[in-house]
Structures are given as structure tokens and as C-alpha cells.
Structure 1
Amino acid sequence: MADSNTVKYNAPALDKGLDILEYLSKERIPLTQAEIAQGINRTPSEIYRMLVCLEERGYIVRGANAGKYRLSLKMYSLSHSHTPFDELKRVAHYPMQMLSEVTRQSCHLSIMNNDQLLIISQMRSPSAVSLSIEEGTHFPLSMTSSGITFLSTLSKKERLNILSRDAYYKKWSKEEKDALNQEIELVKEQGHRYAKSKLTSGVTDISVPVGNNTELKAVLAVSVFTSTLEEELDVQTIIDSLKHTQEQINKLIGG
């Protein structure tokens, strides 16, 4: 519900309409006008016009018998005409460009796809020599810093369900599995992961989670040559830059 203490410009009618949509989405069952009003701390008369308007615009549907309201498929249709990951790539472009320029390293953005890590965007380093991870490439979640970072954003139940299908994880001993789960918990606590790559010798990965508390989750990472990191670059500077970029992207996607 809208918090009047944080709203700079009031739009009462819009607030009521959004409250109705959000409440119906949360409850997931058809509700009467009185039930909706009670749920959003309004009176039935306050929301009558909003219900009529939302029904006329096709956002909600009223049952013929009990007169209960439910969400239509209109919002689903609108949201799928432009996927959230397309929008994520768009808004992340400039922050990633700034991150690449500040760190002088390439950075990449990834999501989970079919229980694997999928690179959806990359920003190349302005330096003459740098690492490159091509968009569209898949990697195992359990073997990458970005994958482990992504797993840290999930509940334990979700995480174990996904790992039960991971080709590497299934072959590991109990000790190896426990070690991975401890790594995941550490990432959740610290908010980032910094470790040498398990897949590519001589490479170190630094990653942070990006996204909101719904289905939109991703990972932003910088991969550097380990020798360069040890001799020329400051790890904390990269971590700080990653987290600054993380904040910028989260703000742009409403996270």
C-alpha cells in the first residue's frame, strides 16, 4: 500500500487503483467489493469507481453470480509483450559501461535459464587486453562465481531443488556439497563473491546479485586475470564499484 510519508506527489485515485490490483494479485482468489475494501483499508464506497474503471479497462473481471472480482489476463499480456529481462538489459547498459570504464575491465550480466547460468549482456573493457565472455553462453551454476551468487538469492528449498539437477553437484561427495552450501551462505551474508574461477585457470571472478524480490534476479560480474589482480588492481575497489553499479541497476528496475 502507498505510504503517505514517502509520496512526494499525491495521486489518490491512482493509489487506490494500484492498491486494488496489488491486493488481488497477492490474494489470488476472487473477492467481493467489501473484501477488497477491507484488505486495503478503504471503505467500499471509496473504491467503487476504481473497480468500475478497472473492469471497463479490462484489468479485472467480475463473476456473474457472486459478483466477486479477480484479475484478468491483461496485465499478463502487457508484461509479456516486453520481457523483464529485455528491460533489464536496456537499463543496465549505461551502468555497466561506467563500471567497465572505472575498473578498466569487462563485465557481464547473467540470469538463470534451464538450471544453468546464461550470459545475457556483456560490456567490453576499454583496455587493449581483457577477458571476454560471449552473450548467449551457458555455464553450470555450481561451478561459477556468478552461479553461486545467483543461488545465494534463492531460498534453501529452491536452491537444493535446482542443485539436485546439476550435473556436477550430483556427482560430488557429501563434503563437497556441504562446502558449496557453506560458500552460498557466505555470499548471502557478504553480498558478493570473490574467488578464482573453477572453470578457467588464471582467472578470478567477482560478482554481486542484481534484481528485486520477485522473479527478476540476475548477477553482475567482473572477471579479471588473476596475475593482474594481484599486481595492479585493488580487489576492494572492484567490489565497491560492482556494488555501486548494483545499486544503480536496482533503482532503475524498481528493486
Structure 2
Amino acid sequence: MNDKIKPKYAVPALDKGLDILEFLAKTQVPCTQSEIAIGINRSTNEVFRVLVGLEKRGYLQRNPQSGRYDLSLKLYHLSRSISPIDRVRQSSLPYMEDLAVGIGQSCYLTMLYQSQAMVIVHARSKSPMHLSVAEGALFTLSSSTAGKLLLASSNNEVRDMLIEHDPRYSNLKGQQRTVLLNELDEISKDKHLIQQNHIISGVYDFSVLIGVPNAKLIAALTISSFDADLITPIKMQTLLSELKSTAQKISGLINV
């Protein structure tokens, strides 16, 4: 696991510690000091002090009989303390604010929450007149633009579960349900959706996916505009390109 090119500011002890944690997470079985050393391409002397330190800090647990090391639950508890919604909010807001200023339109980010689409962060435009969507607002998945995109981009198991709890879908007849499911399949391929807002007449929604279809963490970046000048093929494509560019930057930051 040693890099051929040494980083400018190397921290050897930290590198060894991370190598050990990653190795044990990958092997998923308790290992001896020698097995760990071989697995991360280090000597037993190099890993000894690091193993002692990781055990002392509670990241590893050592079986007193076999002498084998295994991961404790500390990393799990640390990961549970980090809200994915907070992480997405913090990562996305600066880019969303740049987008709102650049295109003169407010934008908002939506994620799945209790079988609905919830707005988790909103970036306001500096234009004197613009649409504003309240953070925390909840929308039906099968009706709203962002909701449809999130529903379409979920894996089959999650999609089936979500759609069973969708009030609009429950009221649809057999053929109507088939039409909606086929629409979701097409949206999943496109990774974006443009349609009229389901609540306000004359407003168009432009929504693009953050992440990749079927991923554990996905979100939808959306602009709702009442500007009729935007609804032309050229301007729609320009706006869509700006949205996709911003979504790609956010996706890279949250590792989706």
C-alpha cells in the first residue's frame, strides 16, 4: 500500500494506521500482527507501535488468547454521528450560491425523507424577483419534478417501497401506473427532468441528479422558474448544462 511517489507532507505513522484500518475492514476477519504487516507491505516492527496505539484509542480490539486484532465498533459509531444530510448541505451550498448568482435563478437541493422529497437547502438568487422554496418543504415523489427524479434514480427495492407509500400512485389505475413506471425508467436513463411545476401554473422545473442511479446517497438539484424566456430549446439546454456542471462538482465532494 506504499505510494511510489511520496506526498509533500508525509505522516508515516498516520499512513500506517490508515493502512491497518483499511486492511482489516477489507479482510473482515481478525488478523495477527504478522498477517497485518504482510497485508500492508510493512515490517512487524513498523506496525507494532501503531497497533498498540489504535488499540489504546479503541479503534482495534485484541483477542488475548489468539493475539489477533479486529476492528472495534468505534468507526461505526463515528460514522453514525455524521448526518448525510448535513454533509450534503455543507458541501453543496457554496456551489449552489455560485449557480444562483450566475444564472439569476434560485435553486434548491432535495433528498428522500420518509417516502417524500424534502428540500434540505436553498440558495437564493440576487434578482429582485425570484421563486423561493422553503427548506424543509415536503413534496410527493410521483408528482414533483425532484421527487420523480429521486424515485427514478433509486434502486428497484427502494423504488418499490417508496412507491407503495405514494398517495398519488395509490389512486392510479392499472394502465396509469404502467405509464408512470415507464416514465420513471426513461428519467433514470436521462438523469434529469424538465417539466411544468405540479403546484404553480406557468412555472417550469429543471432538475438534475446528484450522484448516480441506484447509489445509496442521491439528491436532486432543481431550479423552478416562471421566466417564459427560459422555455426555449437553446436557453433550456444552457440552463441544463449549468445545472449538470454544478451537480457534478457537488457529487465529487460528497463522493457519490
| TM value normalised by structure 1 | 0.82
Change (3 A) 1:24 1:232: same
Shift of the 216–19 alpha-carbon distance from structure 1 to 2, 3 Å rule, reads farther
Offset of residue 3 of structure 1? 9.1
Contact 2:196 2:202 in 1 (8 A): yes
The structural deviation recorded for 1:229 is 2.5
1:161, 1:64 → 2: CA distance?
A: 45
**For each residue in 1:47-82, what CA deviation from the matched residue of structure 2 results, as whole angstroms up to 9, or x when unmatched?**
555433322221122344554544323223333444
- Separation in 1, partners of 2:6, 2:119: 37
Q: 2:101 is matched with which residue? A: 101
Cα drift, residue 153 of structure 1: 3.0
- 1:169 equivalent in structure 2: 169
| Number of residue pairs matched by the alignment | 253
Cα gap change, 1:8 to 1:182, in 2 (>3 Å): farther
- The 1:139–1:4 alpha-carbon spacing in structure 2 relative to 1, beyond 3 Å, is same
Cα distance, 1:231–1:177 mapped onto 2, change above 3 Å: same
Q: 1:54-203 alignment to 2 at 5 Å?
A: 54-203=54-203
Distance 1:203 1:110 in 2: 18
- Runs of 4+ aligned structure 1 residues displaced above 6 Å come to none
Comparing 58-67 with 166-175, which one deviates more in the overlay? 58-67
Distance 1:3 1:223 in 2: 49
**Rounded Cα–Cα distance in structure 1 between residues aligned with 2:5 and 2:255:** 15
Deviation by residue 1:163-219 (Cα, 9 ceiling, x = unmatched): 112222222223222322322222222221112223332221111222478643221
Runs of at least 5 residues in structure 1 that lack an aligned partner in the other structure:
none
Task: Report the Cα distance in structure 2 between the residues aligned to 1:226 and 1:40, rounded to whole angstroms.
Answer: 60
| Aligned-pair identity (%) | 33
Q: Identify if the C-alpha distance between structure 1 residues 38 and 163 changes in structure 2 by more than 3 Å, giving closer, same or farther.
A: farther
Q: Which amino acid aligns with 1:32?
A: C
Distance in 2 (alpha carbons) for counterparts of 1:204 and 1:105: 12
Q: Which moved more, 1:49-58 or 1:104-113?
A: 49-58
Pairwise CA distance, 1:107: 0.2
Pairing 1:18-37 to 2, within 5 Å after superposition? 18-25=18-25, 29-33=28-32, 37=36
Q: Distance in 2 between matches of 1:37 and 1:153?
A: 39
Instruction: Tell me the secondary structure at the aligned position of residue 142 of structure 2.
Output: helix
Shift of 1:116: 0.9
Asked whether 1:210 is paired with 2:243, we answer: no
Q: 1:251 — aligned with what?
A: 252
CA gap of 1:109–1:44, structure 2 versus 1, over 3 A, is same
Change (3 A) 1:140 1:40: farther
Name the Cα RMSD after superposition: 3.3
Q: Give the residue type in structure 1 aligned to 2:78.
A: L
Give the distance between the partners of 1:224 and 1:35, measured in 2 at CA. 62
Secondary structure of 1:32's counterpart equals: coil
CA distance in 2, matches of 1:200, 1:7: 57
Q: Closer, same or farther in 2 for the Cα pair 1:203/1:14, shift >3 Å?
A: same
One-letter amino acid of the counterpart of residue 187, structure 1:
I
Point out the more displaced range, 157-166 or 204-213: 204-213
Contact 2:62 2:70 in 1 (8 A): yes
- Looking at structure 1, the residues matched to 218 and 121 of structure 2 have their Cα atoms a distance apart, in angstroms, of 14
So what's the TM-score if we normalise by structure 2?
Answer: 0.81
How far did 1:223 drift? 1.0
Aligned to 1:240: 241
Aligned counterpart, 2:228: 227
From the CA coordinates, give the structure whose radius of gyration is larger: 2
